[in-house]
Amino acid sequence: MSAAKASQQLHRILVVDDDPDIVELLQYNLEKEGYDVRTAPDGRKAVETARNFSPELVLLDIMMPHMDGIEAGRQLREIPELRQTYILFLTARSEEYSEVAAFEVGADDYITKPIKPRALMSRINALFRREAQKADTGDQVQVADLVISRKNYTVTQGEKSVVLPKKEFELLFFLAQSPNKVFNREELLQKIWGADIYVLERTVDVHIRKLREKIGETYIRTLKGVGYMFTDQPE
């Protein structure tokens, strides 16, 4: 086994789908790449398994019995130990509202079926490569009472701890690193989600709205028709 694949053995992936053929296909290809894989047949079992397995990535179907993927994703994001876990939705549904619902609960990617294993493996490998290549994870940004630290992916506001899923944290940290600079949606999609992952521009709006709900309205400003800016002089 190559050094790259040996390092991937540290990465734990949970596959959740009620179609046993899809589960078998994904498990085979992921284990072939060197990942540690667990599976679950529905959303309820996925949440239970995730609590014990602590996956770094969850491949999550939407239409499932007992508990659908959207609700499972929401519950997974409420588990503090899993707030930095990647969630990739796999679904036969291509409607925009389903995709928006997925990102509302903290999805990192949204992939429509039928699944192409090689393309999916490439996207998963790219996610982990970007994670490994992040420079200087001890960086910290502080503006007024807001402290954003990459060391432990933590955000504090005064004496309050603010819990953010991975993509919300990365978006906030990226904007805060360049205060008073305006970024359009396309730039933010490229920087946070990457060129190899297709998501709607509206996804940025969803994440900005959720950040404002958690840290207040004053830190991130909207320039209509242009984009978003983090201000170092919140009102």
Give the burial string for 58-78 (b: 16+ CB within 10 Å, else e).
Answer: bbbbbebeebbbbbbbbbbbe
Distance CA(42)–CA(69), nearest Å, equals 8
pLDDT at 133: 60
pLDDT at 31: 94
- Tell me the CATH number at 61: 3.40.50.2300
Same structural domain, 57 and 147: no
DSSP classification of residue 192: I
Condensed to tens digits (0 to 9), the pLDDT of residues 180-207 reads: 999 999 899 888 887 666 667 788 898 9
Helices (H), the chain: 3-8, 20-33, 43-53, 69-77, 96-104, 117-133, 166-177, 185-188, 202-215
Percent of the chain with pLDDT over 90: 50
Same structural domain, 9 and 60: yes
How many domains, the chain?
2
The mean pLDDT of 169-185, rounded to a whole number, is: 92
Residue 62 lies in a domain: yes
Residue 84 lies in a domain: yes
Same structural domain, 33 and 115: yes
Distance CA(104)–CA(19), nearest Å, equals 25
- Domain range for 217: 140-230
Phi and psi torsions of 121, nearest 5°: -60, -40
The mean pLDDT of 212-234, rounded to a whole number, is: 91
pLDDT at 137: 47
Q: Which of 114, 113, 116, 96 is nearest to 104 (CA)?
A: 96
pLDDT at 203: 84
Same structural domain, 90 and 145: no
Average pLDDT, the chain: 86
Condensed to tens digits (0 to 9), the pLDDT of residues 96-151 reads: 677 778 888 888 888 888 888 988 998 888 778 777 665 544 588 888 889 999 87
Q: Please give the model's pTM, rounded to 2 decimal places.
A: 0.68
Question: Residues near 106 by Cβ (< 8 Å), separated by ≥ 6?
Answer: 73, 74, 76, 77, 87, 165, 167, 168
Residue 8's pLDDT band (boundaries 50, 70, 90)?
Answer: very low
Distance CA(101)–CA(98), nearest Å, equals 5
Residue 210 lies in a domain: yes
Same structural domain, 214 and 119: no
Same structural domain, 104 and 176: no
- Tell me the CATH number at 176: 1.10.10.10
Same structural domain, 43 and 144: no
Distance CA(149)–CA(154), nearest Å, equals 5
Residue 235 lies in a domain: no
